[in-house]
């Protein structure tokens, strides 16, 4: 006891060093446990998965042309699923002389499509057909027999995708189910959802 009293500064210093050492060791242990915690790793994996999903949902950008009685005729970029009314808005709207009654505003725009907006009393050129309402009705397009022009009446199917569908038939044989359509490059789940009620296989 006498020695402790005489050397109390040394004793206190030693205790302080010991406490500091133990505290540092515990903190390091916590870090290791956190890094090895399966729940923490699971959260990171879930976040990465969600990030990948966001990338996959990136909309497809198409190119379409609009001519005739619109303010700014030209070629515009439009997202897959866009309709004629959206394309008209991109072109600055209709001119006063436009024949609005001749336009199917709700029609889906397809990649490489060309839309002609006629003026009142004018007929659209035969080379620029306008899809009539009701075309491509439920289950009307057979994936195993439809030619390019018929396939292009489907929403989101332009000339390039129509040719890809025909090439798939030649290479792999007839479609067995409509779900096989998702094997075509560029036709994902969103596009398929728009098509599934309009197509069939025989």
Cβ-based burial of 94 (10 A; exposed 0-12, middle 13-18, buried ≥19): middle
CATH annotation of 141-200:
1.10.150.320
Give the CA distances from residue 74 to residues 23, 39, 69, 77, 172, in Å, rounded to whole numbers and listed in that order: 71, 54, 11, 10, 39
Q: By the 8 A CB rule, do 170 and 120 touch?
A: no
CA–CA separation, 15 vs 2, rounded Å?
18
pLDDT (tens digit per residue) in 101-146? 888 888 888 888 888 888 888 765 544 444 443 444 445 788 988 8
User: Residue 71 CB: number of other CB atoms within 10 A?
Assistant: 11
Distance CA 196, CA 139 (A): 8
pTM of the model: 0.41
With 80 as the cut, is the pLDDT of residue 49 above it? no
Residue 54 has a pLDDT of 47
Q: What is the pLDDT of residue 14?
A: 65
Residue pLDDT, tens place only, 56-108: 557 788 888 898 899 999 999 998 888 899 999 999 999 999 888 888 888 88
């Amino acid at each position: 006891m006498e020695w402790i009293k005489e050397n109390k500064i040394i004793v206190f210093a030693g205790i302080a060093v010991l406490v500091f050492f133990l505290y540092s060791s515990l903190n390091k242990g916590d870090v290791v446990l956190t890094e090895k915690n399966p729940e923490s790793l699971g959260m990171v994996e879930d976040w990465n998965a969600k990030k990948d999903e966001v990338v996959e949902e990136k909309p497809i950008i198409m190119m379409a042309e609009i001519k005739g009685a619109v303010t700014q005729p030209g070629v515009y970029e439009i997202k897959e699923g866009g309709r004629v009314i959206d394309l008209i808005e991109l072109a600055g709207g209709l001119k006063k002389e436009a024949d609005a009654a001749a336009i199917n505003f709700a029609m889906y725009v397809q990649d490489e499509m060309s839309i002609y907006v006629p003026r009142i009393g004018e007929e659209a050129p035969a080379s620029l057909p306008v899809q009539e309402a009701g075309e491509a009705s439920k289950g009307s397009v057979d994936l195993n027999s439809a030619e390019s022009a018929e396939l292009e009446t489907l929403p989101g199917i332009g000339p390039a995708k129509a040719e890809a569908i025909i090439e798939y038939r030649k290479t792999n044989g007839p479609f067995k189910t409509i779900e096989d359509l998702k094997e075509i490059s560029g036709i994902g789940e969103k596009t398929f959802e728009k098509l599934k009620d309009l197509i069939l296989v025989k």
